[in-house]
Structure 1
């Protein structure tokens, strides 16, 4: 009898923890994608000589958009706002296959975010919302 109660209790705890983890991923995003994008974005910033002093700290960092983005890129994006261009937000994505950081520059009329050309725009860019 005690074995059966222990087994039922273990199954309930397991299902509860899976539900909690699922809700956490829905709310905060995939933690693996977050770490992956952060790691590759730091390398990209080092290569392009972008320092933390150049950025607005509260408006720069990882974000998980609610709408689907291009299927070749991870869902998590990285946004940068520079102190010398506070009116423009630059968005970056991590390509799934070759793990390169690409700046997004094409607009989607349905989404409020706009991708404007600015001082820190890169020559190679991608459409974030191509299906």
Structure 2
């Protein structure tokens, strides 16, 4: 089943390929004075694109898969959670720490139903480390 889903994603040009998807590398994932500049850079690159985004670490490990319409608004909310955190400790889950920087990959998908399906198909085939991205 997994192979058939991967074939379908590839046929529709939604299969994750770091070379083909747009990306921003070395995004520091902590809140400080430079965070606003990072968010402006992300907004400039993404614009109002609707689609799927993937967070990966420096070892290309898939951390999280999400969708947004626009993607930037969703990513901005992730950073807003960092700002709300009262301590410097932030994590994806209680047992592991978040990397200091991530790469954000994205592909544009206009149709909401297609975004929903592709997000689930990518999560099934890529097995991200985290199903939820939250603050501890």
- Report if TM-score (shorter chain) is over 0.5: no
Report the TM-score when normalising by structure 2.
Answer: 0.27
User: TM-score under structure 1 normalisation?
Assistant: 0.28
- Higher relative CO (Cα under 8 Å, sequence separation at least 6) belongs to 2
